[in-house]
Chains A and B, each alone.
Chain A
């Protein structure tokens, strides 16, 4: 590196050579030229500066963050190295979080509707007034003896918030605490429940896995815990000595397929057939884990039940019905690929098959549950249940249990009423049917609704055919929304009680996706900017205002105290948790097969009617108990095309598409890493600006289409097009993407808002508006992927 001559040296030389030193000196003085970069220093900010740990809530992954607060302003978010999910990393949404905190469109205080519903005229009220109104309303309902007519729809509830809301509704006397899970992860949870007997999303030990087979799970972009999957993926790829293989089975390649070793474009909605085809080859070639299959499973071989009736086992069922040749016709995946994949999957232990999450082309009509069960069968076949590199049962911290609910006859009668969303009644297998609430309110099934409480829920936007909720709201006399932005649903509310953003409130956050228990803590990093109140505190104050017996169920003065009380058993003082921001017991403790821990926690833990014998159900006994007595016609009413044993075995259920041959393409609404699943993110300008990186779009929606399919329709790149389904039509721009199944078109999620804020409003289109609003008849899952559309030039 030649050390460059400093200017002064040089000038002296030329002065001597040039002979006009005086002019040179004068010039120098006049122009006060300073050599660049010679003496510049760092001016540290004047005010004091400190770091506050918290947990991000812009997607369900819940990464730990360290917020740098300078002069009382949250200036920068960095990943918390102590938090196991992201260990110091942070995705674009987390980095852009200050734009959520300082967003100019945030609601500044509680509002009450004055004009006509949805007219947008509000008057500010105080929090005390709001508490009185809600308490009064609930007391009236309890006095009228119908507390069940109050319902709560909640979205992403973290940590204690979910049990707290359910406890609040039970204390009031209503069974209707309805989660939005049926929009995304419910298919995987039900599948794990009906096979492994654990009603929870399984955790995947990607770090130790050699072979990952992902069925429609949008691993690296969206889904339940994107950051955890990315961390696992990158460790599995280059973090350790031998590099794991990733195969993605999805009609859309996306980032996950692009990074995978192999991407298998499959006919949408036929993943169950492919999974069973793989199972067929594994069983035929004897690669199955015989110890697990014979000693720790049920229904693999044919068997006779109590009354001596013989039932077909999983093995025979698969061998007869899913030879690779037939599977090739159904799925379009060549038989040779099926055999090769099966051989690789079984031959490279530990291998894991990822169950489909949101955005997977699976939860069509009824085949959402069976497809997820079929994929979980693969994990069982190769014995990847509860083994390093396989599927783990997610464990949580043992929180101090809730104090006993005080005796309350009105509440007890209310709790036993039928649920508003028809879970367990109209939808026999469902636990939550979030999107069906709209039709039920309009029908008045099972009873008219008096009060709706919406916590982090924007059904008008995020439910397929969400506008049905607007009609339903006409029939709901009193609606309360806790959104921090005036989103599409809050517009129709009577009371809007804005909750602070995640950087300004107390909330814990159970760590999911790693298997071992852990908890993260959100704490106010800056003084709350506006007159907002944490919904937990609000409900506590409502309970006090309602007086006994409801008040008795909540002996805490504020939510922080509740957290402190519940989390005192995690083995860390409150101060340490506040200082670190996270506490965990790292290292997953595997249960030996057949041990009582295996029976108690891993297999059969949540079974209600079938025996908890620690046996993995190839033939689902739980399903048998639920649907055993139904006749053929009732089964057909539930959308089941096959009767007999097939009902209780994972099988390929042909998808009944909304839209006939006139609509050639299947519409798939994809969640992006940049915008994420939550409506508030659509109003963050930075995320809008990077939303279309994969196709080169910014600030807008687009329709991804295969170039050959577009060629037939004479569509060129960036042409304006109409996307029409039997339920409506949208106008957007087509973008040709070669890595996409010809029969599938994609639309990005979280665009096309009509409210929320200036950056989100009227930008792009909302693909969910034209999706099939019906739910799966048996499981109450929203059908995201069984709507057909036609595309033509705008």
Chain B
């Protein structure tokens, strides 16, 4: 079973937010009105934001730093622990997924996640007349299960799933062609579109996959490692 992981090289990332919007277009996250956005309710699963600039030092040394933050898909996810109904669960490939038919909207997971990667549908997602033509038709559905880019109803929590529908499509394609599925056939939308080629994706269990090799780099670090969540998104320091 592959253990999916992503490496983001902050030296090559130019904070262009391409990942943010590729994720939105791939997963049908809705646009919110300006007043909602002012409240902080915009839905960007892969958010990009500036980190706190250091206070001291002359102007010339004041360096702004930016961070692009998908879901960490932690090994011990604090969100899966607290979910009372198992709406969010960790599948055997290490992906922390969300089942939109089961979620009761109690938002315990959104509060438990230290990275703040979870978003809540405060209103029914709506696209102004005509704009819903570009919604991604893919679906991951089954009995009592609704995942993937299906448009979520109001009142449920949603999060980055490393584009779970792309994994299913890659698997279906491999099956259709009668061969077994290779981990490098599947890449989330943000990895594919990264303008600075800063994002790598692959199977952490495979010792010579790109992500495993990059994970050994001495520039590698993980966000909030002290929180004991063992995130599977590994960042590489700038410089």
Contact = CB atoms under 8 A, between A and B. Distances in A.
Nearest to A262: B60
Given A230-B14, A674-B17, A696 B49 contact: yes
B196 A234 contact: yes
Residue among A36, A102, A238, A687 with the most chain B CB within 10 A?
A: A36
Interface in A390-429: none
A36 B87 CA distance: 8
B237 to A, nearest CB: 11
Contacts of A38: 142
A99 interface: yes
Interface string B1-26: 10000000101101111101110111
A104 B197 contact: no
B17 A673 contact: yes
A740 to B, nearest CB: 7
Contact of B64 (A233, A258, A699): A258
Nearest to B137: A45
A694 interface: yes
Contact of A255 (B14, B18, B34, B87): B14
Contacts of B11: 237-238
B89 to A, nearest CB: 5
A92 B198 CA distance: 15
Contact of A231 (B147, B195, B238): B195
Contacts of A566: none
A686 B23 CA distance: 12
A92 B34 CA distance: 19
Contact of A264 (B44, B60, B131): B60
B154 interface: no
Contact of A36 (B9, B63, B138, B145): B145
Interface in A52-103: 70-71, 73-79, 86, 88-92, 94-96, 98-99, 101-103
A685 B43 CA distance: 13
Contacts of A154: none
B192 A79 contact: yes
B143 A36 contact: no
Contact of B48 (A263, A693, A700): A693
Nearest to B236: A238
Interface in B105-135: 128-131, 133-135
Interface in A85-125: 86, 88-92, 94-96, 98-99, 101-104
A633 interface: no
B38 to A, nearest CB: 7
A233 B147 contact: no
Interface in B165-188: 165, 168-169, 171-172
B179 to A, nearest CB: 18
A231 B197 CA distance: 8
B50 A739 contact: no
Contacts of A668: none
A647 interface: no
A20 interface: no
Contact of A230 (B1, B16, B137, B140): B16
Interface string A661-698: 00000000000011000000000011111100111101
A689 B38 CA distance: 10
B197 A689 contact: no
Contacts of B99: 36-37
Contact of A234 (B12, B21, B59, B134): B12
Contacts of B129: 104
A41 B21 contact: no
B63 A258 contact: yes
Contact of A42 (B34, B102, B140, B238): B140
B77 to A, nearest CB: 14
B170 to A, nearest CB: 10
A227 interface: yes
Given A37-B91, A104-B131, A90 B37 contact: no
Contacts of B92: 1, 3
A584 interface: no
Nearest to B43: A689
A220 B14 contact: yes
B209 interface: no
B229 interface: no
A45 B60 CA distance: 53
B42 interface: yes
B197 A95 contact: no
A419 B42 CA distance: 50
Contacts of B152: none
Contact of B130 (A32, A70, A104, A687): A104
Given A265-B60, A693-B49, A43 B25 contact: no
B15 A693 contact: yes
A96 B21 contact: yes
A39 interface: yes
B62 interface: yes
A45 B150 CA distance: 12
B82 interface: no
B136 interface: yes
Residue among A44, A90, A220 with the most chain B CB within 10 A?
A: A90
Contacts of B63: 253, 258, 263, 739
A741 interface: yes
Contacts of A738: 53, 59, 62
Contacts of A700: 34
Contacts of B73: none
A184 interface: no
A237 B238 CA distance: 10
Contacts of B53: 738-739
A761 to B, nearest CB: 12
Given A255-B66, A690-B21, A690-B44, A73 B15 contact: no
A741 B59 CA distance: 8
Residue among A1, A88, A233 with the most chain B CB within 10 A?
A: A1
A172 B141 CA distance: 61
A672 B42 CA distance: 20
B59 A259 contact: no
Nearest to B145: A40
Contacts of B195: 86, 89-91, 227, 230-231, 234
Given A42-B139, A92-B16, A230-B14, A102 B130 contact: yes
B97 interface: yes
A700 B131 CA distance: 22
Given A103-B130, A265-B60, A689 B32 contact: yes
Nearest to B65: A258
B210 interface: no
Given A75-B134, A265-B59, A696-B49, A89 B194 contact: yes
A104 B128 contact: yes
A742 interface: yes
A87 to B, nearest CB: 8
Interface of B: 1, 9, 11-12, 14-18, 20-22, 24-26, 31-32, 34, 37-38, 42, 44, 48-50, 53, 59-60, 62-66, 86-87, 89, 91-92, 97, 99, 102, 128-131, 133-145, 147-148, 165, 168-169, 171-172, 189, 192-198, 238-239
23 contacts: A1-B92, A34-B144, A36-B99, A37-B91, A39-B142, A43-B138, A89-B195, A95-B25, A220-B16, A234-B12, A234-B14, A234-B195, A235-B197, A255-B15, A258-B63, A264-B60, A689-B42, A690-B21, A694-B64, A699-B37, A700-B34, A706-B59, A738-B53
Given A88-B192, A99-B134, 15 more contacts: A34-B144, A40-B141, A74-B134, A76-B134, A221-B16, A227-B195, A230-B195, A230-B196, A234-B195, A258-B66, A674-B17, A689-B37, A693-B49, A694-B15, A700-B34
Interface of A: 1, 3, 32, 34, 36-47, 70-71, 73-79, 86, 88-92, 94-96, 98-99, 101-104, 220-221, 227, 230-231, 233-235, 237-239, 253, 255, 258-259, 261-265, 673-674, 685-690, 693-696, 698-700, 706, 737-742, 758, 763
- Please name the 7 residue pairs, one residue from A and one from B, whose CB atoms are nearest each other, closest first: A40-B142, A98-B134, A45-B137, A42-B168, A699-B34, A234-B196, A40-B145
